[in-house]
Chain A
């Protein structure tokens, strides 16, 4: 935790891609056990903001504090810091040459230096947790999109992270497979995991989110209790966005 009791603190984050100003000054604090939901039109910078939290995108200006570390300080060991932050992607990004189990054990063995036995046990219990104990030796190509995404979640959870980042994890799934992934995320939230979720699933945002951020053109336009923001948006841009997606 940071000295002020937050898990993540973003200070004055700006990001430019060439001349494109994608993030235009973001200040945010995320405390443990929060489920922060990020919504907004495409191109609003929500994925970029999520990716600055684990410094997949290095902010052009500003500072990212995570768990007492300044991730934007060049001397911070990012590899070590990232072991405490899981991330799940829209395109799953499982390693296709490894089985479901090997996808999970790779980082456990090579990064956390667990023994092979410990890693296997952790992988299998994590796969059981996401309801895939019968798929331990399957390759990603043998799994459905929903199953792949659950393996990806299990892969991140096996690292025992303090924070989970979800980047539109249901957007690439067939509608009938969205539910199984959302259920896993809902359980995770119920267990008290701190989460930041970029999503278009407004039902999920309302039911699971503890705080909702609406982003547009690189700034956070409106934030607050999800149910409140979704039913009574104050800002005109939030209103017009919600009228299109709800």
Chain B
């Protein structure tokens, strides 16, 4: 018998179209209702609140007990319209949940079952949100809104006067052009030397131009403001990271030495900085150590040094894990070729380990960004304060707790893109590409 190999076929469609074509009319209805009730709730809440207004203006000289910019928002939250939206979402959501619970096992295929379950879960989310809102309406909304929901405060305290920004656009554009040109030149030379693609140059130049734009705007901000606070948060974490990541690699190499006399100091350092709270380290350096020794360091420098020294201890453990995760055969092959221990580290081990430790190091960096908030225990000047310090100052002067929300928004604007970068890098490394760029 002659066996012929069947022709290789392209894989069957298992995407969204296939998913939808497998639905029964019931499963389609449950999924659609689940989506509908959640969308109805979100759109309903936003439209009702918008119809009342998110913030308003008060006459000059009126105390916050009599009038607050948050009053329209409080009115919206208390309104009957919002109550109706929440009750409809609650009742409809509960009905969908009941339907989904009763029917998910009887669906004829996996796509239909997943659709029913998803519809039910979306309804649970709508019910939870609506239930929370109904409970929240039962509290003292006026007082809460005046303390926490004065959104106009955040706008006032960003520090950038948007109506006068156009006059300073020249300096912003200049900064953008400088950053882009320097990056293009540096990366261009690198790409030419390493014969890397043009794409790398284009991407990094665009990123540099974007960063230049942001930095230009940040420089326009007045003091004190959230944008200035974000700038200090960025400077503290970037400088701390530069110090911490480089010192950490050195520490990791020491901590892995075969010689106990080299290993011991590194371990003592690492364990001290990992074993004491960062806030204690900052206070001890700023309030005890540096003044007692009469060192001529300002608080900002002390903050950067302590953040960097602390990060070095944590990142050295990350480096060590990365280096030790490489197969023993790599260093053996390298030593067999006559490379010395340090040459093997430099050319064989560290280049491979760096790729493995980039995601955990980026995580350490995100942690560092948030830990910069601890330097607020030092007596920083107004111009040196980072986001949390700014938030606290604004709260102290205005007695308006919305300032804390502004600080939180600032941290999220910085950390969310970083977390996104971590996710992308992890996915690229996992997909089998050995290199992060290119």
A interface, CB within 8 angstroms of B: 54, 56, 79-80, 82-83, 85-87, 89, 91, 93-97, 106-107, 110-112, 139, 141, 152, 155-156, 159
Taken together as a complex, chains A and B put the C-alpha atoms of A159 and B334 apart, in Å, by 13
Taken together as a complex, chains A and B put the C-alpha atoms of A201 and B336 apart, in Å, by 24
B338 touches which of A89, A152, A159 (Cβ 8 Å): A159
Q: Is the CB of A107 within 8 A of B329?
A: no
A110: B residues at CB distance < 8 A: 339, 343, 347
Q: Is the CB of B327 within 8 A of A91?
A: yes
Q: Is the CB of B337 within 8 A of A97?
A: no
Taken together as a complex, chains A and B put the C-alpha atoms of A54 and B338 apart, in Å, by 10
Q: Is the CB of B337 within 8 A of A141?
A: no
Q: A56-B335, A91-B327, A110-B339 are in contact. List 5 more A-B contacts (CB 8 A).
A: A79-B340, A89-B329, A95-B348, A97-B351, A152-B333
- Please report which residues of chain B, range 411-438, place their CB below 8 angstroms from some CB of chain A when the two chains form the complex: 432, 434-435
Q: Is the CB of A93 within 8 A of B434?
A: no
Taken together as a complex, chains A and B put the C-alpha atoms of A93 and B348 apart, in Å, by 11
The residue of chain B having its C-beta at the shortest distance from the C-beta of A111 within the complex is B338
Q: A89-B332, A93-B327, A93-B330 are in contact. Are A155 and B355 (CB under 8 A)?
A: no
Q: Is the CB of A82 within 8 A of B338?
A: yes
A159: B residues at CB distance < 8 A: 337-338
Q: Is the CB of B338 within 8 A of A107?
A: yes
Q: Is the CB of B434 within 8 A of A54?
A: no
Q: Is the CB of A87 within 8 A of B336?
A: yes
Q: Is the CB of B347 within 8 A of A96?
A: no
Q: A93-B332, A95-B330, A95-B348 are in contact. Are A139 and B337 (CB under 8 A)?
A: no
Complex A-B, nearest 4 residue pairs according to Cβ-Cβ distance, in ascending order: A93-B333, A83-B338, A107-B337, A93-B329
Q: A93-B327, A95-B348 are in contact. Are A82 and B336 (CB under 8 A)?
A: yes
- Please report which residues of chain B, range 315-344, place their CB below 8 angstroms from some CB of chain A when the two chains form the complex: 327, 329-330, 332-340, 343
* B352 sits at the interface (CB 8 A): yes
B348: A residues at CB distance < 8 A: 95, 106
Q: Is the CB of B338 within 8 A of A139?
A: no
A79 touches which of B332, B338, B351 (Cβ 8 Å): B338
Task: Report the minimal beta-carbon distance from A171 to chain B, rounded to whole angstroms.
Answer: 14
Taken together as a complex, chains A and B put the C-alpha atoms of A31 and B338 apart, in Å, by 23
B interface, CB within 8 angstroms of A: 327, 329-330, 332-340, 343, 347-348, 351-352, 355, 432, 434-435
The total of interchain contacts (Cβ-Cβ below 8 angstroms) comes to 66
Task: Report the minimal beta-carbon distance from B366 to chain A, rounded to whole angstroms.
Answer: 26
Task: Report the minimal beta-carbon distance from A51 to chain B, rounded to whole angstroms.
Answer: 8
B329: A residues at CB distance < 8 A: 89, 91, 93
A112: B residues at CB distance < 8 A: 338
Q: Is the CB of B339 within 8 A of A107?
A: yes
Q: Is the CB of A97 within 8 A of B352?
A: yes
Most buried by A among B333, B340, B355: B333
Task: Report the minimal beta-carbon distance from A238 to chain B, rounded to whole angstroms.
Answer: 30
Taken together as a complex, chains A and B put the C-alpha atoms of A80 and B336 apart, in Å, by 10
The residue of chain B having its C-beta at the shortest distance from the C-beta of A56 within the complex is B332
B347: A residues at CB distance < 8 A: 106, 110
Taken together as a complex, chains A and B put the C-alpha atoms of A82 and B331 apart, in Å, by 14
Task: Report the minimal beta-carbon distance from A74 to chain B, rounded to whole angstroms.
Answer: 14
B435: A residues at CB distance < 8 A: 97
Q: Is the CB of B338 within 8 A of A141?
A: no
Q: A93-B330, A97-B434 are in contact. Are A111 and B335 (CB under 8 A)?
A: no
B351: A residues at CB distance < 8 A: 97
Taken together as a complex, chains A and B put the C-alpha atoms of A89 and B337 apart, in Å, by 12
Taken together as a complex, chains A and B put the C-alpha atoms of A155 and B339 apart, in Å, by 13
Q: Is the CB of B432 within 8 A of A56?
A: no
B339: A residues at CB distance < 8 A: 79, 106-107, 110-111
Q: Is the CB of B332 within 8 A of A139?
A: no
Taken together as a complex, chains A and B put the C-alpha atoms of A111 and B335 apart, in Å, by 11
The residue of chain A having its C-beta at the shortest distance from the C-beta of B332 within the complex is A56
A155: B residues at CB distance < 8 A: 337
Taken together as a complex, chains A and B put the C-alpha atoms of A97 and B434 apart, in Å, by 7
The residue of chain A having its C-beta at the shortest distance from the C-beta of B435 within the complex is A97
Taken together as a complex, chains A and B put the C-alpha atoms of A94 and B334 apart, in Å, by 9
B338: A residues at CB distance < 8 A: 79-80, 82-83, 107, 111-112, 159
B335: A residues at CB distance < 8 A: 56, 79, 82
24 examples of A-B residue contacts, CB within 8 angstroms: A54-B336, A56-B332, A56-B335, A79-B338, A79-B340, A82-B338, A83-B337, A83-B338, A86-B336, A87-B333, A87-B336, A89-B333, A91-B327, A93-B329, A95-B334, A95-B348, A95-B352, A106-B348, A107-B338, A107-B339, A141-B432, A141-B434, A152-B333, A155-B337
B352: A residues at CB distance < 8 A: 95-97
B330: A residues at CB distance < 8 A: 93, 95
Q: Is the CB of A97 within 8 A of B355?
A: yes
Q: A93-B329, A97-B352 are in contact. Are A139 and B434 (CB under 8 A)?
A: yes
Q: A89-B332, A93-B332, A96-B352 are in contact. Are A106 and B327 (CB under 8 A)?
A: no
Taken together as a complex, chains A and B put the C-alpha atoms of A82 and B435 apart, in Å, by 31
Taken together as a complex, chains A and B put the C-alpha atoms of A159 and B348 apart, in Å, by 17
Q: Is the CB of A56 within 8 A of B336?
A: yes
A97: B residues at CB distance < 8 A: 351-352, 355, 434-435
A54: B residues at CB distance < 8 A: 336
Task: Report the minimal beta-carbon distance from B337 to chain A, rounded to whole angstroms.
Answer: 4
